[in-house]
Structure 1
Amino acid sequence: MVEKNLMILVVVVVVDVLFIVVIDVVVVAIVERVVVVVVVEVVVVVVVVVVVVVVVVIVLVVVVEVVVVVVAVIVVVVVVVVVVVVVVVVVAAVVVVVVIVYLPNQ
């Protein structure tokens, strides 16, 4: 049971990261402005974190019926993980943007 829920969490996080990457690529392709991309990133990151937390809480409470304390701990862990992953993705995205958009123009 626990393994299954952990798998769900992993899938959700991975999907979110892919989602962010796709949005990056699209925004970069359209706008070609790093500042705009970073702003969009921040917004997307906030939304994604909120969605992840909500999904995780719902899954845990409804499916597992776990104790509130456990939920709180898991939510904190998930948020931290998501934020770290997102920061890495953002940095990677900015690097990609700079390499793709700015270097060829120099």
Structure 2
Amino acid sequence: AVMLRVVVVVELEVLVVVVPEVVVVLALIVLVAVVVLVAVVPVVVEAVVLDVLVVLVSVVVLVPLVLVAVVPEEVVVVVVEVALEVLVTVMVMVIVIVALVV
């Protein structure tokens, strides 16, 4: 899990350096990560967990898109990085909790 997080963060750092304006790419990474998580996590998982993930993804995807319209690019990049780190952390926690419960 830690390794996964490191890889994701490194990928994000590279993306932010190479294409700071492509917030959509970051959003897609988040969506892919959630799809992978849902595939990895057993189907038995309560719908609540998935609902929470959907809300998180929506927030992480929508907030940057709104920010891009009104806020300077540098600020957006920082916010997106923080949001994605939080999401990855939450996903790792969910995986751990599910592993313990199941």
Structure exhibiting the larger radius of gyration computed from Cα positions: 1
Q: Give TM class, smaller chain.
A: 0.3 to 0.5
Q: Report the structure, 1 or 2, having the larger helix content.
A: 1
Q: Normalising to structure 1: TM-score of the pair?
A: 0.44
Q: Normalising to structure 2: TM-score of the pair?
A: 0.45
